[in-house]
């Protein structure tokens, strides 16, 4: 498995928070529902609706997520 840079992970999460902030700096601790709905519509994750605290990546979603993580978060 690829080793990921903690610094890059922190920066990417912070960038997502900046993109999703509201009320002048307030950020939800979980991923925005509209983003999750779009990922589900694209077939990358299971249905995010309901009380479950997690979703599963589909086969396509897992492949894309791994490729993006390697692209953006590689420690090299």
Is the model's pTM score more than 0.75? Answer: yes
From the centroid of its chain, how far is CA 33? 12
Determine contact, residues 40/48, Cβ cutoff 8 Å: yes
pLDDT of residue 1: 56
Determine contact, residues 66/4, Cβ cutoff 8 Å: no
pLDDT over 70 at 16, yes or no: yes
Reported as a single tens digit per residue, the pLDDT across 23-47 is: 999 998 889 899 999 999 999 999 9
Task: Break the chain into its structural domains and give their ranges.
Answer: 6-73
What is the spatial distance between Cα 39 and Cα 42, in angstroms, rounded to a whole number? 5
3-state secondary structure of 26: strand
């Amino acid at each position: 498995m690829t080793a990921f840079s903690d610094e890059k992970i922190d920066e990417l999460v912070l960038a997502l928070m900046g993109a999703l902030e509201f009320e002048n700096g307030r950020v939800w601790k979980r991923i925005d529902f509209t983003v999750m709905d779009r990922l589900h519509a694209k077939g990358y994750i299971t249905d995010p609706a309901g009380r479950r605290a997690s979703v599963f990546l589909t086969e396509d979603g897992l492949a894309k997520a791994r490729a993006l993580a390697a692209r953006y978060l590689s420690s090299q």
